[in-house]
């Protein structure tokens, strides 16, 4: 972008005057933010490159965890410093926009991955567009009350959204059996890194088809219309409504169908307007289904094509060419299943297509016990996706192998050619260039800027690592000071900057084993108190995570960690060498501050459970060692950086399978008094437990049908041993060398590489 300071300031001034009746000197931070965003959008629109005529991929995802847009957009446009200088010249500070709300339209890694892929595709000139939902409220804003998670509405739009454009002309109507909804798209440009390419993220907003019925109002029947309007708008109210009730489940189904139906109607309409043959849709489009949430797009496209006069077999043939499916989990409960009656009731025409797929599958003469889409009144969405889609991919080598060997073993035996692996990645622009600029400058000074768009180039720092160590340590210390100040301001917990920063930030789930981390902290606490642990390296344990509103065991873990934090931080003897903080409302912007300040990256899921992970890659890129299991992308991190440069513990996937046959956790507890002491704190009155949630947490580890499902207690001793080794290694030149060797080995984990593999192996675009 050719930046003209005078013109930019004039544009901002005109927008402030027209929209807010104010000027640069008097504008509030919110007003200035919106004016700056609109000025950039206005300036870039005429120069945007298009990819007309090229086959495009539509990335269908229920989540797009984009984070704060302004700094990333300005960086990719190459005008970040220009805009900063321009605002400074009139007495305004660009950094004031750090308080702008994140667009938290995602839950964790899946949604952040989608955001990284969009940015990488634009930066590589690949025609990839996102399709999703414009939730009025994000996941939720998290606070803590008496240690418990409290959810509040995440009103991300209160700051305005200058980066999106409402495209009323492309609105469509989505029909349910009992309701018609108007779907209005909002388009957000995805700017490539300094290449002029702009892809698109189209998010759909649900609105009433007719907002106001004058006749009904005059007849005093307006309440009926109000109910209809509420039913229409609530589809887009919030990401992932609680589905512990049937009402919540139906709302999720409506959300998923709304998103894919609107997107497919939009695309087919444009194909028809261009005179294209819909049976040759694969020449112009392919669609990536990001997990099972958008899989209902398959029967919907079949329905739409038959509505245009084509046969079921013709429609099936199109779907078999255009759809591809990414699986993000091996957990049976996370592979979406729908009650057949619910789909038939809400989406009868779509259900007919699913039944037709089931009959087609039955007609192939396969074992019905192994191959089915509908079984005992339940629709298995992953099975539908695998049966129809052209390609199915896992997101790390170990994960894809588990899919082939266990989760989808039967389908892999039938369709081995469908299954491919594409390991996840992260964009190095946001996750190093933007969030850790001084480190990026240090790297640039040694090897140039080629790594900005080809992360494999970062391996060239290896010969300079010894020379870079002093400067790297200074940068890390400065990042830690900034994070400590931010935590003190927002959480009220003071963390000495000379402490080791041991970090575990990710979605809260039992298999991710935040509980293992918390138990180890109690182990250290009691050891320091009784003198069995001496000279403990001063360490701050930093957590960040949100638990799904209906996931009560995850909420119990949050309560437990917060009680451990209160115990440690209020004890003057122990707090001199240990602090614990669970940051509230962990999001992308918080992550940007954390990943560049961490000394230790905790990636401690039970082996075989984490599909990939992407936080492990962010920490690695920023020069942080991994304390983790051989799970997900940790395996590939060890392959790239060397296992000797990480801190690996715990049972392997093969050992987990063996242990499960005879595992009884109380035997382990009985042999380890220190572990028992930490575990008993859940039930012996050490912590308040008004709701009995800590007792249930204790029981989940020790008793019941399947105690300690995720082998927290089995891996505890090895975890503590390796953790102590890491903490005592900290500060040595050898330790810091390991950190920089991780950065040097991070090249594989760029989302640029990931999308290029998708483009070559699956989408066949950009050729």
Would you say residue 488 has pLDDT above 90?
Answer: yes
Start-end of H helices in 308-417: 312-322, 340-346, 348-362, 381-388, 397-402, 409-414
Q: Are residues 1 and 111 in the same domain?
A: no
Has residue 450 been placed in a domain? Answer: no
Q: What count of other Cβ atoms lies within 10 Å of the Cβ of residue 551?
A: 18
Query: Which DSSP helix (H) or strand (E) runs through 637?
Result: helix 634-641
Q: Please pick, among 321, 430, 452, 618, the residue that the annotation labels catalytic.
A: 618
pTM, full prediction? 0.96
For 330-354, b/e burial (b = at least 16 CB within 10 A) is beeeebbebebebbbebbebbbbbb
Q: Are residues 41 and 114 in the same domain?
A: no
Domain edge (last residue) among 58, 92, 126: 92
CA distance linking residue 693 with residue 100, whole number of Å: 35
Q: Is residue 311 among the annotated active site residues?
A: no
Would you say residue 266 has pLDDT above 80?
Answer: yes
pLDDT at 220: 62
Q: How many domains does the chain have?
A: 3
Has residue 539 been placed in a domain? Answer: yes
Between β-strands 198-208 and 323-326, what pairing exists: parallel, antiparallel or unpaired? unpaired
Q: Are residues 239 and 334 in the same domain?
A: yes
Q: Are residues 43 and 56 in the same domain?
A: no
pLDDT at 576: 97
| Residue 517 banded pLDDT, cuts 50, 70, 90 | very high
CA distance linking residue 322 with residue 390, whole number of Å: 7
Q: Please pick, among 141, 252, 507, 756, the residue that the annotation labels catalytic.
A: 507
| Tens digits of residue pLDDT in 536-558 | 999 999 999 999 999 999 999 99
Q: Is residue 507 among the annotated active site residues?
A: yes
Q: Give the DSSP letter of residue 579.
A: E
First-to-last alpha carbon distance for the chain, in angstroms, is 26
Q: At what angle do helices 552-569 and 514-530 cross, to 10 degrees?
A: 20
Would you say residue 51 has pLDDT above 60?
Answer: no
What number is the average pLDDT over the span 380-385?
98
CA distance linking residue 742 with residue 601, whole number of Å: 12
pLDDT at 47: 60
Query: Which DSSP helix (H) or strand (E) runs through 208?
Result: strand 198-208
Q: Are residues 179 and 315 in the same domain?
A: yes
pLDDT at 50: 53
For 39-78, b/e burial (b = at least 16 CB within 10 A) is bbbebbeeeeeebeeebbbbbbbbbbbbbbbbbbbbbbbb
CA distance linking residue 156 with residue 618, whole number of Å: 24
Q: Is residue 293 among the annotated active site residues?
A: no
Q: Give the DSSP letter of residue 759.
A: I
Q: Are residues 132 and 24 in the same domain?
A: no
What number is the average pLDDT over the span 295-308?
98
188: its two tokens: 């957000």
Q: Please pick, among 68, 506, 513, 723, the residue that the annotation labels catalytic.
A: 506
Would you say residue 603 has pLDDT above 80?
Answer: yes
- 496 Rama sector, left if φ>0, alpha if ψ -120 to 50, beta otherwise: beta
The phi, psi pair for 112, rounded to 5°, reads: -70, -35
CA distance linking residue 200 with residue 116, whole number of Å: 13
pLDDT at 25: 96
Q: Are residues 493 and 408 in the same domain?
A: no
383: its two tokens: 């099975």
Q: Please pick, among 202, 328, 430, 738, the residue that the annotation labels catalytic.
A: 328
pLDDT exceeding 90 applies to what percent of the chain? 89
Helices and strands, number each (H, E), in the chain: 31, 23
Q: Are residues 418 and 518 in the same domain?
A: no
The answer to whether the beta carbons of residues 502 and 604 sit under 8 Å apart is no
Q: Is residue 512 among the annotated active site residues?
A: yes
Q: Are residues 29 and 143 in the same domain?
A: no
Q: Are residues 405 and 550 in the same domain?
A: no
Q: Are residues 569 and 603 in the same domain?
A: yes
Q: Please pick, among 423, 614, 629, 743, the residue that the annotation labels catalytic.
A: 614
pLDDT at 70: 95
Has residue 432 been placed in a domain? Answer: no
Has residue 464 been placed in a domain? Answer: no
614: its two tokens: 């992407």
CA distance linking residue 419 with residue 291, whole number of Å: 15
Range of the domain at 330: 48-67+102-424+755-763
- Domain of 517: which CATH number? 3.40.50.2000
Q: Please pick, among 512, 513, 546, 593, the residue that the annotation labels catalytic.
A: 512
Q: Are residues 113 and 52 in the same domain?
A: yes
| Residue 239 banded pLDDT, cuts 50, 70, 90 | confident
Domain edge (last residue) among 33, 59, 92: 92
CA distance linking residue 97 with residue 71, whole number of Å: 9
Has residue 442 been placed in a domain? Answer: no
3-state secondary structure of 152: strand
CA distance linking residue 152 with residue 371, whole number of Å: 43
The phi, psi pair for 48, rounded to 5°, reads: -70, 130
């Amino acid at each position: 972008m050719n930046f003209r300071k005078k013109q930019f300031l004039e544009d901002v001034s005109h927008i402030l005057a027209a929209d807010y009746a104010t000027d640069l000197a008097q504008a509030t931070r919110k007003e200035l933010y919106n004016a700056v965003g609109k000025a950039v959008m206005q300036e870039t629109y005429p120069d945007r490159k298009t990819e007309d005529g090229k086959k495009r991929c539509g990335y269908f995802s229920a989540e797009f965890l984009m984070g704060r847009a302004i700094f990333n957009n300005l960086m990719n446009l190459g005008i970040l410093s220009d805009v900063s200088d321009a605002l400074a010249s009139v007495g305004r500070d660009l950094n004031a926009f750090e308080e702008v709300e994140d667009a938290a339209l995602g839950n964790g890694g899946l949604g952040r991955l989608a955001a990284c892929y969009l940015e990488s595709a634009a930066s590589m000139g690949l025609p990839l567009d996102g399709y999703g939902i414009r939730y009025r409220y994000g996941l939720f804003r998290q606070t803590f009350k008496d240690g418990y998670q409290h959810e509040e509405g995440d009103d991300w739009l209160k700051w305005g959204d200058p980066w999106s454009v409402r495209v009323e002309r492309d609105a469509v109507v989505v029909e349910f059996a009992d309701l018609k909804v108007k779907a209005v798209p909002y388009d957000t440009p995805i700017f490539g890194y300094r290449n002029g390419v702009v892809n698109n993220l189209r998010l759909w907003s649900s609105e009433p088809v007719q907002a106001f019925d004058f006749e009904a109002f005059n007849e005093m029947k307006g309440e009926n219309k109000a109910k209809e309007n509420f039913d229409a708008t609530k589809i887009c109210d919030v990401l992932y409504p609680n589905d512990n009730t049937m009402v919540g489940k139906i709302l999720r189904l409506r959300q998923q169908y709304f998103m894919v139906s609107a997107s497919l109607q939009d695309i087919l309409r444009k194909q028809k307007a261009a005179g294209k043959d819909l049976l040759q849709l694969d020449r112009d489009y392919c669609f990536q289904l990001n997990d099972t949430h958008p899989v209902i797009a398959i029967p919907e496209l079949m329905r739409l094509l038959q509505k245009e006069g084509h046969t079921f077999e013709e429609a099936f043939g199109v779907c078999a060419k255009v759809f591809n499916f990414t699986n993000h989990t091996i957990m049976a409960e996370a592979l979406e299943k729908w009650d057949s009656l619910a789909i038939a009731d809400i989406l009868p025409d779509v259900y007919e297509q699913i039944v037709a797929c089931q009959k087609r599958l039955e007609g192939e003469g396969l074992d019905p016990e192994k191959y089915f889409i509908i079984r005992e009144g339940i629709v298995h969405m992953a099975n539908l996706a695998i049966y129809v889609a052209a390609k199915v991919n896992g997101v790390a080598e170990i994960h894809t192998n588990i899919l082939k060997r266990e989760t989808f073993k039967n389908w892999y035996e039938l369709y081995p050619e469908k299954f491919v692996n594409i390991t996840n990645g992260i964009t190095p622009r946001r996750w190093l260039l933007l969030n850790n600029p001084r480190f990026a400058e240090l790297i640039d000074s040694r090897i140039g800027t080629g790594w900005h768009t080809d992360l494999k180039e970062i391996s060239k720092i290896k010969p300079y690592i010894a020379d870079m160590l002093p400067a790297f340590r200074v940068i890390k210390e400065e990042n830690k000071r900034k994070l400590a100040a931010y935590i003190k301001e927002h959480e009220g917990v003071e963390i000495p900057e000379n402490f080791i920063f041991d970090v575990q930030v990710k979605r809260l789930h039992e298999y991710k084993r935040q509980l293992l981390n918390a138990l180890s902290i109690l182990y250290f606490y009691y050891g320091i108190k009784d003198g069995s642990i001496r000279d403990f390296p001063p360490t701050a344990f930093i957590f960040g995570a949100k638990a799904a509103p209906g996931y009560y065991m995850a909420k119990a873990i949050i309560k437990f960690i917060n009680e451990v934090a209160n115990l440690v931080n209020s004890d003057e003897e122990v707090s001199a060498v240990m602090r614990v903080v669970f940051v509230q409302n962990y999001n992308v912007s918080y992550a940007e501050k954390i990943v560049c300040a961490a000394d230790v990256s905790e990636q401690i899921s039970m082996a075989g459970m984490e599909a990939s992970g992407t936080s492990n890659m962010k920490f690695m890129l920023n020069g942080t060692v991994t304390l983790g299991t051989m799970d997900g992308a940790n395996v590939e991190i060890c392959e790239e950086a060397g296992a000797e440069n990480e801190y690996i513990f715990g049972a392997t996937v093969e050992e987990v399978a063996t242990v499960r046959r005879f595992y009884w956790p109380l035997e382990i507890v009985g042999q380890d008094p220190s572990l028992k002491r930490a575990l008993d704190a859940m039930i012996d009155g050490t912590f308040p437990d008004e709701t009995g949630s800590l007792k249930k947490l204790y029981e989940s580890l020790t008793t019941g049908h399947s105690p300690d499902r995720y082998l927290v207690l089995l891996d505890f001793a090895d975890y503590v041993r390796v953790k102590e080794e890491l903490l005592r290694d900290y500060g040595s030149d050898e330790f810091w060398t390991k950190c920089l060797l991780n950065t040097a080995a991070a090249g594989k984990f760029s989302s640029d590489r990931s999308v290029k593999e998708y483009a070559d192996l699956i989408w066949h675009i950009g050729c």
